[in-house]
């Protein structure tokens, strides 16, 4: 038996592949385009494992996807391939439309043709699982209830709009063609292998490098934080037992303001890796100009997946963030590799011009 995981060299994808191979003997065909956020170093532990087959490819290359499915005959395709950084989508939306919308469409087309030709028993067992984001639902007011699967889509950035488009395509392929799909919409992930342009890894890296810890606006944007290993467990459970055509929201039940998250990181680092001058990392917090259209609050109601499939996060924010800091401290070579070259150019250009004031 074989599964295909797209985007398997990215943050969530690499964690999923590593966890899958630690728990299952089933082969994973790992498809990744290896753009800036794809990193084979995240998969070093399994690169020699015969159960892990890596293929450098673009999900938008429909003939290559069709040939890959025909060669490996997967029982499931898990689509984790995506452009995922809101800031980059604001600066250059075209890549997000191309990968998240057009790429998903072409992957679905290849999957539909492959599924349609399967023998009846394999056809009945086949699954296409699409991993998406809570950002498709828009922004919440402080007192509003958390996002449920029934919330209307109201995306506010090119990134979230592109993911909303991909979700709609997945739904349409189920209702129009009968493709056996499942969709998950997750909250903000954090944990090992996280590319350091996102808040948590960026601030860990900058803190240790003696650089400013950039906080947008007043830092009171609220997110629900989900430890990536918990998310991987949820994906496995949805693949195993999710109802066809259904969407499952996956969240950590951990709403935190961005500023509070960074202060927590600083407190942990103060304890486990104190600054040489004895001062707190919190002194490096610097407020920067808010990004355009910044959503104020996201929150996930994960009741459905808990009640239907019995999944709940194993980590609290406190335990998960401690593990995350420890991982980054223990893996300086990985961090050094991914924060060289183009990454530094992007960060310098994006933040340095908009510095406002320190904490």
User: CA 177 to CA 198: how far, in whole Å?
Assistant: 37
Q: pLDDT tens digits for 247-302?
A: 999 999 999 999 999 999 999 999 999 999 999 999 999 999 998 989 999 999 99
In a domain, residue 125? The reply is: yes
In a domain, residue 339? The reply is: no
User: CA 204 to CA 261: how far, in whole Å?
Assistant: 11
Q: Give the domain CATH number at 245.
A: 3.40.50.720
> Regarding beta strands 2-6 and 27-32, do their DSSP bridges make them parallel or antiparallel, or are they unpaired?
parallel
Confidence (pTM): 0.94
Please identify which of the residues 114, 137, 159, 281 carries the catalytic annotation. Answer: 159
Q: pLDDT tens digits for 203-236?
A: 999 999 999 999 999 999 999 999 999 999 999 9
User: CA 276 to CA 212: how far, in whole Å?
Assistant: 16
Cβ neighbours of residue 254 closer than 8 Å, sequence gap 6 or more:
224, 225, 226, 313, 316, 317, 320
Residues of the chain with pLDDT under 50: 343, 346-347, 351, 353-359
Q: Which of 201, 135, 141 is nearest to 164 (CA)?
A: 135
Q: Cβ–Cβ contacts within 10 Å for residue 331, how many?
A: 15
What is the span of the domain harbouring residue 98? 2-193+225-253+294-316
User: CA 23 to CA 269: how far, in whole Å?
Assistant: 32
Does the active-site annotation cover 134?
yes
Cβ neighbours of residue 18 closer than 8 Å, sequence gap 6 or more:
42, 43, 45, 46
pLDDT at residue 338, as a whole number: 86
Please identify which of the residues 135, 224, 295, 315 carries the catalytic annotation. Answer: 135
pLDDT at residue 197, as a whole number: 83
Does the active-site annotation cover 173?
no
In a domain, residue 166? The reply is: yes
Helix runs in the chain, H state only: 11-23, 62-72, 86-91, 94-96, 104-116, 120-125, 158-177, 199-209, 228-241, 258-272, 303-309, 317-330, 332-338, 342-351
Does the active-site annotation cover 216?
no
pLDDT at residue 299, as a whole number: 98
User: CA 87 to CA 195: how far, in whole Å?
Assistant: 14
In a domain, residue 22? The reply is: yes
In a domain, residue 44? The reply is: yes
Torsion sign (Cα): 176, 180, 181, 182 = positive
Q: What is the mean pLDDT of the chain?
A: 94
In a domain, residue 242? The reply is: yes
The tally of domains found in the chain comes to: 1
In a domain, residue 77? The reply is: yes
Please identify which of the residues 83, 87, 134, 224 carries the catalytic annotation. Answer: 134
In a domain, residue 261? The reply is: no
Torsional class of 268: left (φ above 0), alpha (ψ -120 to 50), beta (otherwise): alpha
């Amino acid at each position: 038996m074989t599964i295909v995981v797209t985007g398997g060299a990215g943050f969530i994808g690499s964690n999923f592949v590593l966890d899958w191979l630690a728990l299952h003997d089933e082969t994973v065909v790992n498809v990744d385009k290896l753009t800036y956020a794809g990193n084979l170093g995240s998969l070093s532990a399994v690169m020699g494992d015969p159960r892990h087959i890596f293929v450098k490819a673009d999900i938008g290359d429909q003939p290559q996807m069709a040939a890959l499915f025909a060669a490996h005959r997967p029982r499931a395709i898990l689509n984790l391939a995506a452009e995922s950084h809101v800031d980059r989508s604001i600066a250059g939306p075209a890549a997000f439309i191309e990968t998240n919308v057009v790429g998903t469409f072409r992957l679905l087309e290849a999957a539909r043709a492959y599924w349609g030709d399967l023998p009846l028993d394999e056809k009945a067992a086949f699954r296409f699982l699409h991993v998406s984001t809570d950002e498709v639902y828009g922004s919440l007011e402080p007192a509003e209830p958390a996002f449920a699967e029934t919330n209307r889509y109201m995306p506010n950035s090119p990134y979230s709009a592109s993911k909303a488009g991909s979700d709609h395509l997945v739904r349409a392929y189920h209702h129009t063609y009968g493709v056996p799909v499942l969709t998950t919409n997750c909250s903000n992930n954090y944990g090992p292998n996280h590319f350091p342009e996102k808040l948590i890894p960026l601030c860990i890296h900058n803190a240790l490098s003696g650089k400013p810890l950039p906080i947008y606006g007043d830092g009171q944007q609220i997110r629900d934080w989900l430890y990536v290993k918990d998310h991987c467990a949820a994906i496995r459970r949805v693949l195993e037992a999710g109802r066809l055509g259904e969407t499952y929201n996956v969240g950590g039940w951990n709403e935190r303001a961005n500023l509070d998250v960074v202060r927590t990181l600083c407190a942990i680092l103060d304890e486990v890796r104190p600054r040489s001058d004895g001062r707190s990392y919190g002194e490096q917090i610097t407020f920067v100009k808010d990004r355009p259209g910044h959503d104020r609050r996201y929150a996930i109601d994960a009741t459905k997946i808990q009640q239907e499939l019995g999944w709940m996060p194993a980590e609290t924010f406190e335990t998960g963030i401690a593990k995350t800091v420890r991982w980054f401290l223990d893996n300086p070579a990985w961090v050094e590799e991914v924060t060289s070259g183009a990454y530094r150019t992007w960060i310098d250009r994006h933040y340095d011009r908009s510095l406002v004031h320190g904490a």
